[in-house]
Structure 1
Amino acid sequence: MAKDTEKLIRQLSLISYLMAERRPVTALEIRRDVEGYSGMNEDAFARRFYADRAELDSLGIQLTVERPIDGIAEQENYSLRPENFHLPPIAFTDGELASLQTSLSLLDGEFAYAEPLRLALQQITWGRPSPLTAPAQQSIALGITGSAGGHELSQRLAKVETAIFRNKTITFDYYTMERDAEGARKVDPYHLLYQGGQFYLLGHSHERGALRVFRLSRMRGKVAYATKAEHDFKRPAQSVFDPRDYASRADWQFGDTVATGRVWISDRIAWQVERHYGRYGTFTPGTDPARPGVVFATDYANTRQLAAWVLRLGEHARVLEPESLREEVAARIQTLRARHTGPLDLAPALPPRPVEEAAPTRSAGEGRREAAIRPERFARLVTLASILIEAGRAGKRLELADVLQRLQITEAELREDVAVLNVVNFGGGSYVLYAEVHDDGTIEVDPEPYSDNFARPARLLPVEAKALVAAIDLIGDHLPEGTLESAREKIVAALGADPMEQGLHVAKSGGDDAAIARAASQGIRDNVLVNIEYYKANEDQFSERLIEPYALINGQEGWYVAAYDPAKDDVRHFRLDRIKTATVTDTHFEPRASVDPARDVEGWPRTGEVPASRTARVWVSPERARWAREERHVAEELEDGSVVVELRFAGTDWLVREVLMEAGDAAIVEPADAREAVLAATAQLD
């Protein structure tokens, strides 16, 4: 029998024994009565028992130790309080359960934590109809999910997740984008951050002697443990390290603060900037009557990034101070003009690089992606035990296929798990359960009296708790029922702590569009028209639309409401952060069978490229070429280190803003009319 299997049998039997005894027991009794310990000598038992206690404690299952006054270790008494193993019942509403099921159906197969999420839902919905089999809703679709992104990244993420859980120092090679250099790193991993479609590791860098942020996609090679020790470091207290500090930073705030910028924002878009960027600074009324607007004060660490953001806002933003930031923006405007005046002189192109074979991508309906984070087998065994006991007490056989689907495991894995559970006992030859997998595709469970140990939901293990809350935070308040937030509050109350503080944080994407999302969701739920005031940034125009809302969809740039616009006689997608106001009307509409709001979810929401008939060739400077290689399609590599990328665009105004945001480090090669449009835009920046 494998050592891991022996360990699981010991640990599960220990739990059963302690809870069945309902009294403190000595180490001698444990060694004598618990499956797996009896054959050990005294030293081996001491080592194994200590290791098992430590591992159970790390899983959130804490044994109570009562020490005698004279301190003799052999006379210590051990017990397991029911509340340290069982999950308190959670009184979910039907709407909350439906929302949790929707979360899983949306994320299943593309969420790095999908497998522990399934187990968590089994536990928290104990005694209620399984949310895993409830009918899926079609009122929300995800273009961006919490997937790791490919086999190599999945393996990397799994290793980092385990290292955080076990407090293990890791080593890896890392490509530093700012220095364009690769080097070895030794890091104490504290926390994972999911932001903007990417996973980041927050940890203490031994090379720098300070906390650093590492993007997982920039790690190179394998992630390895630095030592063979059980634990290498102790995670700092929240007062010293709070991951939320890193999740609430703008692009220009990563690093050591150099100054506070004050930027005038015109009244025309002040509402949008405040909603989208309010958490990164403060807003005060402007003092110039000739230029109505607000003043945005924000700390910054990266001058270029803040300058780029200001330039993207075009004529609606101006730097007031400090002078160094004003000069930086002015210099970059001059560079933009120079590179769009007359012909653009490019270096000769390098020979094309060999085309690397890309990993196959999954299209809709092609099945599941490889799971990044697999839950501990301990969690799976506890969940399976509860499923089997429930069936045994009801006197019914289980369908093998149904259990495989619920747990997302193979038949071989299930048979191995059943074999393990069949030998778990709580002392005196009394076994927890006996189950048999029959050749007819059913599972029969002996209906004899069972220990109550696994007849109630167990506490969520750390990775299950993180998966559950991460899924809720990823979707946020964008379900029509609006019940995920209340479900989250109940889950955190039952756990006693917010799992996001213990190793994984999902950063809020986009602006605070909760009120707009609620209005759109109400319209979707009740099939009523919604009146929106919409800002079309490409044309700098506001318009009123009376729309039939069908679904909420997320994408690379934020959340959208997919709607039928009667005025346009077509489906349109309206970005929530561009909807200034949304009013739910009393006018009912009959849903149109021809409208498929999620039809495009695998397209532009995921890739960021809208269907378009034009392609722009854009030159990117040597200083910014490595970022372009990571994020864009490179058409040519040039001898001076610069590159030419291809951008598909539907509107010239969008392309102009993208180039302005590169702050002089990019210039349009073609088409000619787009070059002229950039030049014209710079004239409005003085």
Structure 2
Amino acid sequence: VDRVYGEAGRFEGDVFVTEYSNVEQLASWILRQDGRAVPLEPDELRRAVKESLARVHERHSGDGPKLARETTPSHNADVTERPAGPVVPERFAVLQSLLAYLLAACGEGRDAVIPARELVERFSIPEEELEEHLQLLNLVNFGGGCYTVYAELEGDTVRVDKELYGDTFRLPPRLTPLEARAIRLALEFVGPMIAADAHTPLDRVRRKLEETFGQFELTQTPEPHVGSEEEQLVATFTEAIRDRRIVEVEYQKEGEQTWSKRLVEPYSLERKLPNWQVHTWDRMREAERSFRLDRMRNAAITDETYEPRPGFEPHGLRDARTAKVLYTKPIARWAVERGAHPLKDGTALAEMPVGSPEWLVGEILFYRGEAIVLEPEDLRTRIAQRAKELATDLGVARLRIRS
């Protein structure tokens, strides 16, 4: 917690104290920890956790909900479709409309403050996805070379800064504040990889950019939360992958309290926000395994080398089971953007690979009852039981649920 969220709060002993603007999002984060984070106060947070667990338990007990029919695609099914991109085209239509709205809100001025609720309702953006939409807009909104807009969620409001471009392009290279913020976002995504390849700490990469383009003006943009420990792990695995060296890691599996040591052959690193993963062949299990870097305490390169296994391409979840998950109306649109199939009643259905039941439990708890596992039945039962147990573990079992 300190490594990833330390800048968002402070520790008082073992208690993490942080400000928050959305109690539901904070409850989601607590539930995803599956017992490793206990809500102490305020009461509205504890009650939100209790209500979420009750909803998860209810929707995973007994028979699952009946499914509506799948919506009929409007395009010709015989036409060969282009592969899906990392961002669905519909998202860009929303971003284009959002950009026009933010520019209109600024008017002739250089900035504006807009209620977050206004954007959520006007553009049908789920509250938990508003910040993601704004960050994506910050990276792609150069508006034909005329405008740049930087939008930032601040509590219940969105602050918008607008800049006009013109003679700026004819000046010596120098970053504007908005360009600097865009680079800050890029460093969040790929900075550790750049630093590892250059054998240079991330702060030195940043200083080199400052020497080239001028000092970053980033008073409104927080430092990337990639910690020095995670940066070092990325560098370690980058070196090991390049030199084909075995790595000994100390790892804490999700749902467990103890650390275990593994000897792995690292093959590739992958960024799955907000975490880094390394895909490996685990020599102790003789199987493919993927590990999150934020769950590692240490990684040490050994003197032993390895030869790439013929035909082995790590996929992260090669031997996974498949779970069928129904997303309810409040989050169905978000699920469809990530590959779920829309149904006629406004819900969405997805099939997802499950490498471990513990991971699925945390994922379903995160959605606070708005994601429902339909099958396999043993996973439905496990989630219902865990929701009931967790209410006791987190000390919220006796709280009354609001009617």
1:361 aligns with 2:83: yes
Contact 1:481/1:525 (8 A) holds in 2: no
Q: Distance in 1 between matches of 2:84 and 2:387?
A: 42
Contact 1:614/1:648 (8 A) holds in 2: yes
Q: For residues 496 and 529 of structure 1, do their structure 2 counterparts lie closer, same or farther at Cα, with a shift above 3 Å needed?
A: same
Q: Distance in 2 between matches of 1:521 and 1:646?
A: 32
Contact 1:637/1:644 (8 A) holds in 2: no
Give the structure 2 partner of residue 277 of structure 1: 5
Give the structure 2 partner of residue 629 of structure 1: 336
Q: Distance in 1 between matches of 2:64 and 2:281?
A: 43
Give the structure 2 partner of residue 349 of structure 1: 68
Give the structure 1 partner of residue 135 of structure 2: none
Give the structure 1 partner of residue 383 of structure 2: 678
Contact 1:614/1:650 (8 A) holds in 2: yes
Residue number among 262, 276, 279 corresponding to 1:545 in the alignment = 262
| CA positional deviation for 1:277 | 2.2
Task: Return the structure number with greater relative CO, CA threshold 8 A, min gap 6.
Answer: 2
| CA positional deviation for 1:534 | 0.6
Matching residue's letter, 2:190: I
Matching residue's letter, 2:51: A
Deviations 1:546-592 (A, max 9, x none): 334454332355222344433234554322111122234xx422341
Contact 1:510/1:557 (8 A) holds in 2: no
| CA positional deviation for 1:527 | 5.6
- Indicate the SS of the match to 2:330: coil
Q: Distance in 1 between matches of 2:330 and 2:11?
A: 33
| CA positional deviation for 1:362 | 8.1
TM-score by length of 1: 0.39
Contact 1:619/1:645 (8 A) holds in 2: yes
- Indicate the SS of the match to 2:324: strand
Q: Distance in 1 between matches of 2:289 and 2:320?
A: 18
Matching residue's letter, 1:301: S
Q: Distance in 1 between matches of 2:69 and 2:47?
A: 35
Percent of counterpart pairs with the same letter?
29
Give the structure 2 partner of residue 558 of structure 1: 275
- Indicate the SS of the match to 1:300: coil
Q: Name whichever of 307-316 and 348-357 sits farther off.
A: 348-357
Contact 2:364/2:372 (8 A) holds in 1: yes
Deviations 1:30-51 (A, max 9, x none): xxxxxxxxxxxxxxxxxxxxxx
Alignment of 1:112-123 (within 5 A): none
Q: Distance in 2 between matches of 1:569 and 1:547?
A: 9
- Indicate the SS of the match to 1:684: helix
- Indicate the SS of the match to 1:318: coil
- Indicate the SS of the match to 1:656: helix
Residue number among 323, 326, 339 corresponding to 1:619 in the alignment = 326
1:589 aligns with 2:304: yes
1:296 aligns with 2:16: yes
Residue number among 478, 481, 498 corresponding to 2:216 in the alignment = 498
Q: For residues 498 and 359 of structure 1, do their structure 2 counterparts lie closer, same or farther at Cα, with a shift above 3 Å needed?
A: farther
The ranges of structure 1 where at least 4 consecutive aligned residues each deviate by more than 6 angstroms after the TM superposition are 467-470, 499-502
Give the structure 2 partner of residue 644 of structure 1: 349
Q: Distance in 1 between matches of 2:347 and 2:184?
A: 43
Q: Distance in 1 between matches of 2:252 and 2:42?
A: 30
Q: Distance in 2 between matches of 1:648 and 1:355?
A: 28
- Indicate the SS of the match to 1:321: coil
Matching residue's letter, 2:341: V
Give the structure 2 partner of residue 322 of structure 1: 42
Q: Distance in 1 between matches of 2:257 and 2:183?
A: 41
- Indicate the SS of the match to 1:657: helix
Gaps of 5+ in 1: 1-272, 286-293, 364-371, 378-457, 605-609
- Indicate the SS of the match to 1:490: helix
Matching residue's letter, 1:517: V
Matching residue's letter, 1:360: R
Contact 2:340/2:348 (8 A) holds in 1: no
- Indicate the SS of the match to 2:64: coil
Alignment of 1:317-466 (within 5 A): 317-346=37-66, 349-350=68-69, 352-356=71-75, 360-361=82-83, 459-460=172-173, 462=175
> Which structure has the larger Rg over C-alpha atoms?
1
What is the RMSD of the two structures over their aligned residues, measured on CA atoms? 4.0
Contact 1:634/1:643 (8 A) holds in 2: yes
1:475 aligns with 2:190: yes
TM-score by length of 2: 0.62
| CA positional deviation for 1:630 | 3.1
- Indicate the SS of the match to 2:46: helix
Matching residue's letter, 2:191: G
Q: Distance in 2 between matches of 1:512 and 1:521?
A: 14
Contact 1:564/1:595 (8 A) holds in 2: no
Contact 1:480/1:525 (8 A) holds in 2: no
1:578 aligns with 2:289: no
Q: For residues 510 and 624 of structure 1, do their structure 2 counterparts lie closer, same or farther at Cα, with a shift above 3 Å needed?
A: farther
Matching residue's letter, 1:460: P
Gaps of 5+ in 2: 86-139, 146-170, 393-403
Contact 2:188/2:226 (8 A) holds in 1: no
Q: Distance in 1 between matches of 2:332 and 2:210?
A: 44
Q: For residues 361 and 505 of structure 1, do their structure 2 counterparts lie closer, same or farther at Cα, with a shift above 3 Å needed?
A: farther
